[in-house]
């Protein structure tokens, strides 16, 4: 386990505010880095303040449907 999550299969048009809304429900976020190049589109890193918040987010958001795409949440 880690407090840094790697998220795949994000909708390309998702905004930073929407990411904070989705992932902020599970704990205090230190940083979100969204992929912006051709190879990293649809991915992001979410850094939580606490490892237990990250664990809670993975348990609840892995497979969560966002705009017709199912999120893949992994520990980095």
DSSP of 2-24, one letter per residue?
Answer: -SEEEEES--TT--HHHHHHHHH
| Size (the chain), residues | 76
pTM of the model: 0.92
Contact 51/2 with Cβ under 8 angstroms? yes
pLDDT for res 22: 95
Residue 28 CA to residue 76 CA, distance in Å, equals 18
pLDDT for res 18: 95
pLDDT for res 33: 95
Instruction: From 17, 25, 14, select the one nearest 48 (Cα to Cα).
Output: 25
- State pLDDT tens for residues 11-52: 999 999 999 999 999 999 999 999 999 999 999 999 999 999
């Amino acid at each position: 386990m880690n407090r840094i999550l790697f998220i795949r299969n994000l909708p390309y048009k998702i905004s930073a505010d929407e990411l904070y809304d989705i992932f902020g429900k599970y704990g205090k976020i230190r940083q979100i880095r969204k992929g912006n190049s051709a190879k990293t589109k649809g991915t992001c890193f979410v850094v939580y303040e606490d490892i237990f918040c990250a664990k809670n987010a993975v348990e609840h958001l892995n497979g969560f449907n966002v705009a017709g795409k199912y999120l893949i949440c992994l520990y980095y």
